[in-house]
Amino acid sequence: MERSTGSESLVGAGVFPMPGGQTEADMATRDRLRLHGDSFSYASRGMNSLACRTACTLLVALGVRTLGVETRSGRFEGRALLVAPMRQRRLRANDSALLLVDVEPIHPRFRSFLAATGDSDVLVLDDEAGRELQRLGQAFHSHAVEGPAYDRALRKAIHHLANRFSEPVPLDDRVIWMMRTIESRPHCGLGELAQSLGLSPGHVCRLFSASVGVPLRHYAVSAKIRAAARFLGEGHSLTDVALMAGFSDSAHFAKAWARSYGRAPSESFFSRQIERDPDALPDWARQPAVEPA
């Protein structure tokens, strides 16, 4: 059921300056990436990718052109799209500037977006629903907003959008513990989680999948991928990145990265076309894992 927020855009309201008269041709020449711990933002001059992610993905056009996404169930087109997790999708936006926001399962509003998509691969949002993210994305891509100010603005924009949809029931405390443990220790395995909770591995998997909406195994891989992304642009070899992020070797890392982002990790880690914000993760992304009740 849709709920009206009554809130105004953070950028349009003057909290951040909006680039006047900016067109797609005026956007920054490099793609911009910022990590938020429970989500990430990627502003691009254009993109053509085939990917499948564990996150709910928000795709927002920053210029006049609409975005097109193809899945097994058909083609979806609009200025703001919400892609359900675990769906293979092809984004065709070679000449369209866009903001991509991955809302990870650990994000507090992930399940609101998951429920909103229902059985559909993609939910086409109306222009009003996507306007706050569009203006914020324009400011992000042009560096009119920086660092923690953008983190806070994006978090508010995501909550404003999620408030349009129904609120799911709270997560089981044991599931929250599992999520935080996996985030803080990517090497942690299913056996260790099950033993800590006093449950069988099968019970743990069923509990997690039923509560979160994605399989535990896929969630664990996505946590390793997010851990690896923190080393973007720091000069580490792919083998070192794979091991630091919890993968057994670089081959497994490369396969998982390519499946998630539609490109080989070498195209991301050593690309001069991607500018990764160097700031530390926000406070909310560094919550420690506490012992299960």
Q: What is the pLDDT of residues 155-181, one digit of tens each?
A: 999 999 999 998 888 999 999 999 999
pTM for this entry: 0.85
CATH topology of domain 24-162: Jelly Rolls (2.60.120)
Same fold across 24-162 and 173-276 = no
Q: Where are the domains of the chain?
A: 24-162, 173-276
Q: What is the pLDDT of residues 96-135, one digit of tens each?
A: 899 999 999 999 999 999 999 999 999 999 999 999 999 9
Residue pLDDT, tens place only, 45-87: 998 999 999 999 999 999 989 999 999 999 999 999 999 999 9
The three-point CA angle 76-273-39 to 5° equals 55
**DSSP letters for 196-252:** HHTS-HHHHHHHHHHHHSS-HHHHHHHHHHHHHHTTTTS---HHHHHHHHT-SSHHH
Top CATH class, 173-276? mainly alpha
